[in-house]
Amino acid sequence: MFHSKITVILRPSILDPQGKAVEHAIHSLGSASVHNVRMGKHIELDIDAATKQEAERVTEEACKKLFANPVMEDYLFTVEERT
């Protein structure tokens, strides 16, 4: 069995209003040193696959078809084997 950890985040050039709102909230809590907050998604999943290559292919396909909007978001993932 393989375990994938996927991170999906808005591209740097795309404005992130949710991140801006969180930034204001952090400032209200007293941490004025925080800036440039970006919010993204984290996804973990298990894959039954014979090889790591196959697990990576399934993960990549899920990212492209489902998790990431290719126009606005970047994704990266790691796949590790679990016994």
- Contact status: 68 vs its own copies (CB under 8 A): no
Q: Which two tokens stand for residue 20?
A: 């801006």
φ/ψ of residue 8, rounded to 5 = -120, 125
- Contact status: 15 vs its own copies (CB under 8 A): no
- Contact status: 40 vs its own copies (CB under 8 A): yes
Report, in Å, the least distance between residue 71 CB and its own copies: 19
Q: β-strand 73-81 against 2-10: which pairing, if any?
A: antiparallel
Give me Rg for the CA atoms of the chain.
Answer: 16
- Contact status: 35 vs its own copies (CB under 8 A): yes
For residue 54, the surrounding DSSP H or E stretch is: helix 52-62
- Contact status: 23 vs its own copies (CB under 8 A): yes
**Can you give the binding site for its own copies, defined by CB under 8 A?**
7-9, 19, 22-23, 25-26, 29, 31, 33-49, 58, 61-62, 65-66
